[in-house]
């Protein structure tokens, strides 16, 4: 994936860049400040199978090693989100599948201090354009808990289609939770998702 990873993507004050080991202090600080803001939407470790020991959440270093290994194998694109030069969140394109599907799904979180400023819609648009134009994917998905209004507004602003409900899809905040599926294909944004997002922002500001 030499053309697709590692890569830095930017638009104005918003930058997507590969996650690094040396981001640990800033990443932990942002997570600490946002613990209650993020807790209802964060993935958790499900109970173990009978007779199996309980799984442990990875450390930061273990997480980064896994993300970067998956990126170099072509299965994932793990970014941190910077806003005005400071770490403000994380975005990962995961589950990259080739063959007849050519698909991936996007997960993200953002610092509550910068929520509502267009940071995450811009980040998702940057990542989606990169996946369509450089990586060569055809379809992008975002799966969101129905109760997660801020995250749903991100995909609604960008024009992702709502496709339906996946019951008990992911283990979130200690239980298996339903998720709504939002999707977009490359044919739906021939001019690029970022260009469409910019037009939307100009229209809304007028």
State pLDDT tens for residues 125-134.
Answer: 999 999 999 9
Spell out the alpha helix ranges (H) of the chain.
24-33, 35-38, 60-72, 119-130, 149-158, 193-205
| pLDDT score, position 163 | 97
Q: What digits encode the pLDDT tens for the residues 69-89?
A: 999 999 999 999 999 999 999
Q: How many percent of the chain have pLDDT more than 90?
A: 88
Q: What digits encode the pLDDT tens for the residues 115-160?
A: 999 999 999 999 999 999 999 999 999 999 999 999 999 999 999 9
| pLDDT score, position 3 | 63
| pLDDT score, position 81 | 98
Nearest to 154, CA basis, from 186, 119, 102, 127: 119
* The pair of three-digit structure tokens given for residue 86, joined into one six-digit string: 């400071």
Q: Is residue 145 within 8 Å of 123, Cβ to Cβ?
A: no
For residues 120 and 126, give the distance between their C-alpha atoms in angstroms, rounded to a whole number: 10
Lowest mean pLDDT among 47-61, 150-164, 168-182, 186-200: 47-61
Residue 9 has pLDDT above 70, yes or no: yes
Strand (E) or helix (H) holding 114: none
Question: Starting at the edge strand that comes first in sequence, how are the strands of the sheet with 86-97 ordered?
Answer: 9-11, 14-18, 77-83, 86-97, 103-110, 139-144, 175-185, 161-172
């Amino acid at each position: 994936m030499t053309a697709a990873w590692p890569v830095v993507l930017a638009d104005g004050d918003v930058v997507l860049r590969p996650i690094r080991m040396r981001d640990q202090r800033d990443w932990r600080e942002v997570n600490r400040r946002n613990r209650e803001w993020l807790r209802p939407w964060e993935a958790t470790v499900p109970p173990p199978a009978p007779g199996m020991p309980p799984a442990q959440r990875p450390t930061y270093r273990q997480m980064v090693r896994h993300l970067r290994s998956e990126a170099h194998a072509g299965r994932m694109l793990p970014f941190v989100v910077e806003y005005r030069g400071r770490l403000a969140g994380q975005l990962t394109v995961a589950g990259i599948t080739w063959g007849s599907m050519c698909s991936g799904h996007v997960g993200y979180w953002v610092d509550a201090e910068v929520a509502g400023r267009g940071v995450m819609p811009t980040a998702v648009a940057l990542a989606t354009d990169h996946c369509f134009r450089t990586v060569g994917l055809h379809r992008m998905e975002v799966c969101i808990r129905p109760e997660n209004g801020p995250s749903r507004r991100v995909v609604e602003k960008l024009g992702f289609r709502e496709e339906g409900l996946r019951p008990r899809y992911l283990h979130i905040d200690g239980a298996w939770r339903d998720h709504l599926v939002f999707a977009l294909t490359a044919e739906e944004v021939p001019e690029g998702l970022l260009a469409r997002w910019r037009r939307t922002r100009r229209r809304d500001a007028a």
